[in-house]
Structure 1
């Protein structure tokens, strides 16, 4: 970062200095010194002071005579070079610095009035609490205020069933109040590291942790908390919202927050009338490793206009009431239909546990629930085929019987699905991009034999291109495999366990096929890509497993032999669940199609377009 920002900063300073100007080069040098000693990202400024001095000595400078113009130009330059809009330079000849008194030093009566004006509490319908804080008071102030704070504000809402925490108008506050507030929404058993703050002037780092012992009753970590934010939410309030959101303790609703700063200082530049405002401290969350400062802000789980946030809160709260039932419903479907029952049981328990731990608080509607469920199902099971989706209209069944084509349609189907080519050396090339249902194959069989198969049957070797075949029906796999084995003996291809019927079926080659077999002795190559999936994978794995073909290309997609779609409860959510498992005829073990095909690729190709040429150029000996 330093290697790029210093030259940018240097170029800007070159365009703003003049040896004939009434502004001395020392002004810019002093500004650089202030940044070096106070800016919270010192690593971005390495070499800056030396570079500016060299630029001044070189004499390559322009003249700006107006002081306010100079301040504006310098601000644009510094902000652009360091990508930090918080850095500003101002010319203020009448500025009188005033140090505001700390809240804890105010008289108690004045402090009470201040807190009462910045904190509001109420109990809404259905025992929903409402807490609005416009200024985050520090821990010392809160402790001093103690009993009044508890009795007049907190005690009224501590026993509500859920809480709306309104930070839309919170624009000021003290950082020490952040752990104080968050402690009320956690359990006392274990303290939580919620923030790390680096202070540049003192070159020190301070960690913020929740407090094990606090005044009054905790709200705990179980009940719903919904935080409202706006573009005006800044500073300590952002730290509160960011921590509670990423601790999965609260749902955030409203507008993206301001992206302010933990601490800024306005520093006079030498003895001039110029001032530079510098962020002197920075926050790094131990939870995310990132910060809400600068351009980040706190991004709400539900992004709505700040003035409409309360209306959306009620919708989200209502949605959350049925959340547990929906999550349990997804788990129940998995237990009833997923091919591997022990995995289904484990995943179902994890889903319920995550809900109990509040890990679904960021879910605000059916779409976000579908996304979260999909991520959790796939992560816990290791099976990327599991998928939950949101659909307002009931999806058509993916498992309806295929339509038998008419005589007029047969030619179009063959032309669309199959491509053949005779390569030099009497090598056949067959590409087909979908696995058709067995009844369709039987219907188009005579035409398929005549227009496709008969033209490649007498080749000395065959390339089958499955790179663009994403799957289809598995019913024709035994027939397709049978063409590459002799009629006798029959071969056990694979076994299929169907969870819905709890049956295991051995899939064998077929003793009689239409037309001539290719046989078991001629070389066979199957080309694959990351698109090769479902039934195309099963065919490929079978041929590889039985040492009948050499597989060339990319690992396959890891699709499912069979997935069915199930409605979750009576909602607009549906789950696609693989309900069959395929077992190797050789090892008896289940094929792992969850990530990539377990068919070991003989040669991975970086250029899939050249795979066919590579196979042929190698004279079919990979």
Structure 2
């Protein structure tokens, strides 16, 4: 019996040391990526100290790889105070052969197409009001036609509501393309400083787009605490340029762009590797979030925006498909 227990104990020791070596390699690689890419050049010292202390306490012992990744995400976000940090275990991941840009784009398209490139639905609400429920910024190469179709659909409305309450962000170029529909000419919105390359890039809207631009009309953007990254940027820049009113909850505050890395062929790591600055304020929404023009609970934001538009229709005597009594009746229903 003693020999069996000793054998089991020896096996457990092998597993423990193998896991320990694995964890050390992962932590070392993450620290190195932070040192080379993170926007704050000194932050890697905090990361190194964090990992050393947590390893000494045994925080990473006996965790599954999935839980290990989740704990790393939590620790990095809290200790570095940056919600863009992310670590995910890639189950059954295997390094792929080098693929062309076209093949990579098609692979991304296959996934994003299943979610209609973030466009959940596009509607015309009573009172001739456009409504776009947009949940994510896929690449503009894949999303351009769907975006154009959505904007063409709402082109004849007199006001527009863009719902970003469940939008977790995404592609920076798609952010610029969507913004382009609300600017009458090419406009420089912000700069991006890329630390690893030590260069600054100017980010501008496009003068021409595939669909119809939505100019000189009322635009309302709905936000929640889930609105993140590019979704925050969209609200921030249209609000800053006085092209839209933001209604809903203050957002989380994640402005800086990220780079993606594969760690030990098993984990995806996102590291904030740049810093953006608005051309108007020379600031961004990092840590502060986007403050709505009208702060209400996320669940009430759509109703509040709809009511605001309907009341403005009465005030300005804007012609719609509804008569004045019908508009007043609709207002009464929404207020109940």
> Which bin holds the TM-score, normalised by the shorter protein?
0.7 to 0.9
* Structure 1 position 434 matched with structure 2 position 136: yes
SS at match of 1:479: helix
Pair 1:477–1:455, CA change in 2 (3 A):
same
Are residues 405 and 354 of structure 1, via their aligned partners in 2, closer, same or farther at CA, if it must alter by over 3 Å? closer
More divergent stretch after superposition (345-354 vs 467-476): 345-354
User: 2 CA distance for matches of 1:371 and 1:479?
Assistant: 33
**Take 1:307 and 1:403, find their aligned partners in 2: how far apart are those partners?**
47
Match of 2:296 among 600, 605, 612: 605
**Unpaired runs of at least 5, structure 1:** 1-304
Deviations 1:565-618 (A, max 9, x none): 4233x36344232333322222223430x5xx621123333351x322211223
Query: Pairwise mapping of residues 5-84 of structure 1 onto structure 2 (< 5 A)?
Result: none
Q: 1:534 aligns with which of 222, 229, 243?
A: 229
Confirm or deny: 8 A CA contact 2:224 2:298 kept in the other structure.
no
Q: 1:497 aligns to what SS in structure 2?
A: strand
TM-score norm. by structure 1 comes to 0.42
Say if 1:314 and 1:432 are closer, same or farther in 2 by CA, change over 3 A: closer
**1:401 correspondence with 2:105:** yes
Which one has a bigger Cα radius of gyration?
Answer: 1
Closer, same or farther: CA 334–423 of 1 in aligned 2, 3 Å: same
Whether contact under 8 Å (1:430, 1:464) holds in the other structure is: yes
Equivalent pairs, count: 300
* Preserved contact between residue 255 and residue 284 of structure 2 (Cα < 8 Å): no
Residues 409-428 of structure 1: matches in 2 within 5 Å? 413=116, 417-424=120-127, 426-428=128-130
Determine if contact 2:151/2:213 at 8 Å carries over to the other structure. Answer: no
Q: Aligned partners of 1:620 and 1:542: how far apart in 2?
A: 25
Task: Give runs of aligned pairs for residues 301-316 of structure 1, distance below 5 A.
Answer: 311-316=11-16
User: What whole-Å deviation, never above 9, does each CA across 1:520-552 have from its counterpart, x for those lacking one?
Assistant: x32211011233223222212211222321111
Pair 1:522-2:196 in alignment: no
Distance 1:573 1:306 in 2: 34
From 16, 34, 37, the counterpart of 1:334: 34
Report the CA distance shift for 1:549/1:500 in structure 2 as closer, same or farther (over 3 A).
same
Task: Please state if 1:583 is matched with 2:277.
Answer: yes
Post-superposition offset of 1:492: 2.0
| Cα gap change, 1:612 to 1:388, in 2 (>3 Å) | closer
Query: What are the ranges of 5 or more consecutive residues in structure 2 without an aligned counterpart?
Result: 313-336
By how many angstroms is 1:470 displaced? 2.4
Give secondary structure in 2 for the equivalent of 1:484.
coil
Distance 1:332 1:546 in 2: 39
Give the number of the structure with larger relative contact order, counting CA–CA contacts within 8 Å between residues 6 or more apart. Answer: 2
Distance in 2 (CA, whole Å) between partners of 1:471 and 1:362 is: 30
Aligned-pair RMSD on alpha carbons?
A: 3.8
Higher helix share: 2
Give TM-score, length-normalised by structure 2: 0.73
Residue 323 of structure 2 corresponds to which residue in structure 1?
none
The 5-angstrom pairing of residues 244-323 of structure 1 reads 311-320=11-20, 323=23
Distance 2:202 2:121 in 1: 29
Identify if the C-alpha distance between structure 1 residues 511 and 390 changes in structure 2 by more than 3 Å, giving closer, same or farther. closer
- 1:480 shift after superposition: 1.7
Distance in 2, Cα, partners of 1:463 & 1:582? 26
3-state SS of 1:378 partner: helix
Secondary structure class of the residue paired with 1:467: coil
Q: Which residue of 1 aligns with 2:167?
A: 469
Partner residue of 1:224? none
Distance in 2 (CA, whole Å) between partners of 1:600 and 1:466 is 14
**In structure 1, what is the Cα distance between the partners aligned to 2:6 and 2:289?**
52
Quick one: distance in 1 between partners of 2:136 and 2:23?
A: 39
